[in-house]
Chains A and B, each alone.
Chain A
């Protein structure tokens, strides 16, 4: 019960001082310790030392019990509510408002529109005007909304665990500032993540001006160091490459996962996908060590170990004449090189963040040699401010701290104790710092070792600004007042300036005063806020030349031996930033379909060699640091490469994050941030349960996913239809036509566009109030998301073709689920919706059994959290919150259909095509999902379904699904053998 030590000696003296027969229940009571009083307070709702006599006490208790009883029976809110006296302008209850702002991921802004109901942001959508979004979003943008309402967020400003007011911090900072002044800030350090915020840079600049000796360190665990170092190696200066994937006919990715990570997401997906369906599809070559979404979309993919990739890059560079040097070559190199050469100016070589500078340099060299530079790739000033070599800067900071040269360390929204390279011993070094201030969303690993912890304002709560991949500035506007009185980095830095009390709004607005385009500053400001970007802030292209002597700089590494450990940011929780986000934790990772955990990905061959199977716990040891991790056998993984994802194994991340997975950062040394050779792997006796949403990976000779080459399709469009059994024709039915409405809703999913990024899954979860069920339930096959993205492998185990397919309710016209429902809880609407009537459902689960697509989800327990008040804020008021024991499933976002219907009926017109955008469609960065009225031949969805690529899932069963697919198109190089026609994989995992 008690933290504070129970002093026996004091107890004795106290006992002696008691007269007569006084009873004591515990030493705590005897000593009247602090928390024993608290305990009593909790017991009886009266201050125990307020001299109430027994009778009063009893009456009060009686009252409180009565009240408890009352509140027990009804869910009456105890707060007072007030009506608007003067309703705010443009706020109509029940009508959502959209605000343009941005989601800052890894420092880079991605434009979003935040949907707000009565002042509550409840949904994130893409901002069509924003260059990084063009209307699409990604899982992080969709998911970070939940962090806003996270009950585990840090809620109080603390000094050494004691709650303090903001003024106390200001005073402390003032004191520190005065202490630093004489030494001109020699002991002052600012530690941030990657910063692209002009305002923040300006503020930091101000601090550095006032304290010339002070230093600014930026550390992004999954940062772009190599990109800039590579540029410096190639051009002699750090520049930001910007790719135009829509312009490239041939793309070679040197382990660049540009379709999933990278600052240009989701724009990159949009550009890439736009070239997969068209007449002249692009061709993608990928060489990578660990399977990625980009690799999954490749026409030709080769798993390679890091050293091999480097050698390969060099070989290609030599083959295209980018560098003069001798390099081993092979048919694949030849093919890629000649393909690139035959597409001068329309080719593109992209190197991934995980690749060493040399590879980036080679990529730049190839692009320049082939005249791609300036066409498919342009260069600009780095978008991010601060030191370009973050690792070096952080290393220096650590050295300074160890040497005791740092007296004040201000950490603005970062968690270095958790994510700094393990060899730095950051936490230990920090202890030498006199004053440690931490600003963060969570009271995390870092704040534990800081004197001051300031709860950060969520980016939907605070004013700020940030640049996109091309430099375009978005001004972030808050949609809601800080729920827990959080502060923004701007406000904290202001404390170091002359106006410590300045509000975030004023800081940002002043920073932009006069800088905004247009005559009228107020108009310009509003315009910028409205559009979600500031016109003309994109960086101009910068002409750069590759150093002629680059070739001599490149050392082809000798191929490494033994095991190599690869580090990657997690596809769901990134570097741990989103670790406490239930939506993202439960999101099935695109390739492993694993939830709630990270694992050590091992190639099948390697697993065989080491006698490992999925679920075995192994001990990974690198440079004397050991971490136990469960094995996941990963088809397509490069041999002898073990991939671990960062961000798991949190200890102070929050209730959701803590204890999930293992901490890969503990193995990550500054010298080998992405690939660590010399891994030792020791199998233990233990096994781990991994919760995956898909156990079976082979298509078993069925045709859920149909893929043809663009060539085949051009020659004979009928090929897609022939890939599966023929569906019954529209007239092949014994049933009479039932009355239909004026609309017939349908959905089309283009597998040629889909990259399997999962954005639709989270968008759907947010839109439709889908609860999180937890690892155990997922493991029992009870995941609740309405959309699942199926992933199938085809061909060779060591380098399989990987295909993705989003599957949701097909809204069959002859729905097998409806017929078997005993209580008519699922029936068909006149507009063709397969409706689920929650409050009529008794939960026999017969409908789910009889659904051939298994897209129905069941509330086996009370999954929805009815008790945590704050979580109620995130829910969509247009969608029923489901309780225990009912079936649920995709509704085609019927609430959006109805909203459009109201609008149309008000204006007495039919619903326009494209007026209804389902949540998944809106989120999809690839524009792969189209929704609309299939009874209107002119609608986009009808046109999509009219394509010969169109096919339905299991149509041979006569279900007549309203959701259909467009077959995936690939564009392999005719001179290369396609994927070997190996027998279909048997089940590999789960």
Chain B
């Protein structure tokens, strides 16, 4: 049968509500359809457009980095008092986005949510790409990036070691661990599908490539048993990890003494924010992808609906975070805290704050309505609003807090320069480039996990 043949077109019934997979698929058709995306000879034009955009962005990123290293970190808008600007802001933004991937693949796995099976693969990929974009910022925001390796504990002639009390060192540990574990998880999850591609590949290079990556997987029952254990254990490890990562990121601020940073609410509120941002990004990617590759059968309304619900829930948690911040500022009776809140709402950056409240608190309330959740363009728009909202949240936390801290004499203003922007857009480009590369050569939907949810996958017991 030819690659990518869908289920027999004749008796193709529509996907009923709540279904996480359109009926009518067999092992064969499902496998062929999904494998064909990576294997088929013809690539949709849209892919080339996307890849071109991503490539252009990546080039912009590289040229910005070159200029940065050549000229100095002064090309960005940072100053005293605002020592961190777009750099750390975008770092937190990207890291946050990454979290949904791990959440879907790990936590939902532990919670036995089969609907995750169709989205976990590219959600994990998103995680890895987002983390690699995020990683660039802390590396490049320093005054002397070529010395960044000093943050790593390694024996050296100076006999110097990093300061393990610094949240930035915690970041080094947390983010690198997170990146590594996500990568492992992603790869292990792909091994059976790589075997499928290996067995279905026609071109020699493909056979060799996938063969090597599949490591000789043959679907033995014994292997499956250990494989399942390993995945569960990894999920069990990744769950506390993903929570710890954004907690540690929030420590960058919570451990500081700046009003607007020094808050105990930060860890939970950052983690919720991360999941919020992450699911927004999953929607941002899933909605166009299912259209381009005709994956409506696998990424069904049910998926979109569930994600929309999570979006709503997390937006409420985040809103609670904002509320607590404001209340604590008032209740502390501390002049600096109170001024910080007053300044967010009425200061020179007040428009940022109110825009953030709109994007993260007011707008998501539309998700209460089933009609809205099931309106795909509307949902996509909402995801976009959330992406912006979470960016603004970090802007308000980082820049606005720093711009007016304790001594009025040292207050200042911050504005991103064109290099701040080119770097930001550049990382978005890199993200897109990596993503399109991934969907072209690797299975973006977990084939074997999809097989497992096919009705024919059930073992009929009465015969036993």
Interface residues of A (CB under 8 A from B): 694-702, 704, 777, 780-782, 788, 790-792, 805, 807, 816, 819-824, 840-846, 848-850, 852-854, 856-862, 884-887, 953-954, 957
Given contacts A820-B255, A853-B410, A854-B407, contact A701 B335 (CB under 8 A): yes
B residues near A843, Cβ cutoff 8 Å: 73, 142-144
Q: Which of B368-409 contact A (CB under 8 A)?
A: 402, 404-409
Given contacts A820-B255, A840-B150, A843-B73, contact A792 B409 (CB under 8 A): yes
Q: Which of B94-147 contact A (CB under 8 A)?
A: 141-144, 147
Question: B163, A700: Cβ atoms under 8 Å?
Answer: no
Question: B405, A852: Cβ atoms under 8 Å?
Answer: yes
Of the candidates B82, B144, B168, B408, the one whose C-beta lies within 8 Å of that of A846 is: B168
In this complex, the member of B160, B166, B404 whose beta carbon has the largest number of chain A beta carbons within 10 angstroms is B166
B residues near A858, Cβ cutoff 8 Å: 80, 83, 143
Subset of 16 A-B contacts with CB under 8 Å? A695-B413, A701-B335, A782-B79, A788-B409, A791-B409, A792-B408, A819-B163, A840-B150, A844-B143, A845-B141, A845-B143, A849-B256, A850-B256, A852-B405, A886-B143, A887-B143
B255 (CB) vs chain A CBs: closest residue: A820
B residues near A782, Cβ cutoff 8 Å: 74, 79-80
The smallest C-beta distance from A862 to any residue of chain B, in angstroms, reads 6
A residues near B158, Cβ cutoff 8 Å: 840
What separation, in Å, do the CA atoms of A222 and B172 have in the docked complex? 60
Does B460 make an interface contact (CB < 8 A)? Answer: no
A777 (CB) vs chain B CBs: closest residue: B74
What separation, in Å, do the CA atoms of A860 and B169 have in the docked complex? 22
B257 (CB) vs chain A CBs: closest residue: A816
* 10 closest residue pairs by CB, A with B: A843-B143, A885-B143, A860-B74, A845-B83, A781-B79, A854-B410, A790-B409, A822-B168, A885-B144, A861-B74
Which secondary structure dominates where chain B touches chain A?
loop
Given contacts A698-B408, A781-B413, A790-B407, contact A854 B166 (CB under 8 A): no
The smallest C-beta distance from A375 to any residue of chain B, in angstroms, reads 40
Does B228 make an interface contact (CB < 8 A)? Answer: no
What separation, in Å, do the CA atoms of A699 and B405 have in the docked complex? 12
The smallest C-beta distance from A793 to any residue of chain B, in angstroms, reads 11
Question: A704, B172: Cβ atoms under 8 Å?
Answer: no
Q: What would 19 more interface pairs be, CB under 8 Å, given A852-B258, A857-B80, A885-B144?
A: A694-B409, A696-B404, A698-B408, A704-B407, A781-B412, A792-B408, A819-B163, A819-B255, A823-B162, A824-B163, A840-B150, A844-B141, A846-B166, A848-B81, A854-B81, A884-B72, A885-B72, A886-B144, A954-B406
B residues near A884, Cβ cutoff 8 Å: 72, 143-144
Question: A704, B409: Cβ atoms under 8 Å?
Answer: yes
Given contacts A846-B166, A850-B256, A885-B73, contact A840 B160 (CB under 8 A): yes
Given contacts A781-B413, A816-B256, A824-B160, contact A841 B151 (CB under 8 A): no
B residues near A704, Cβ cutoff 8 Å: 407-409
Question: A702, B335: Cβ atoms under 8 Å?
Answer: yes
A954 (CB) vs chain B CBs: closest residue: B406
B residues near A791, Cβ cutoff 8 Å: 409
Question: A861, B409: Cβ atoms under 8 Å?
Answer: no
The smallest C-beta distance from A953 to any residue of chain B, in angstroms, reads 8
What separation, in Å, do the CA atoms of A846 and B411 have in the docked complex? 17
The smallest C-beta distance from A808 to any residue of chain B, in angstroms, reads 12
Question: B79, A780: Cβ atoms under 8 Å?
Answer: yes
Does B24 make an interface contact (CB < 8 A)? Answer: no
Q: Which of B397-446 contact A (CB under 8 A)?
A: 402, 404-413
The smallest C-beta distance from A930 to any residue of chain B, in angstroms, reads 22
A residues near B141, Cβ cutoff 8 Å: 844-845
B residues near A695, Cβ cutoff 8 Å: 411-413
A residues near B268, Cβ cutoff 8 Å: none
Instruction: Convert B62-76 into 0s and 1s, putting 1 for each residue whose CB lies closer than 8 angstroms to a CB of A.
Output: 000000000111100
Does B165 make an interface contact (CB < 8 A)? Answer: yes
Question: B408, A822: Cβ atoms under 8 Å?
Answer: no
B417 (CB) vs chain A CBs: closest residue: A780
A699 (CB) vs chain B CBs: closest residue: B408
What separation, in Å, do the CA atoms of A471 and B256 have in the docked complex? 58
The smallest C-beta distance from A944 to any residue of chain B, in angstroms, reads 22
A residues near B78, Cβ cutoff 8 Å: 845, 860
Does B353 make an interface contact (CB < 8 A)? Answer: no
Given contacts A886-B143, A954-B406, contact A823 B72 (CB under 8 A): no
What separation, in Å, do the CA atoms of A791 and B407 have in the docked complex? 11
The smallest C-beta distance from B237 to any residue of chain A, in angstroms, reads 26
Does B6 make an interface contact (CB < 8 A)? Answer: no
B residues near A777, Cβ cutoff 8 Å: 74
Of the candidates B160, B167, B404, the one whose C-beta lies within 8 Å of that of A823 is: B160
What separation, in Å, do the CA atoms of A724 and B144 have in the docked complex? 40
What separation, in Å, do the CA atoms of A701 and B333 have in the docked complex? 13
Question: A856, B72: Cβ atoms under 8 Å?
Answer: no
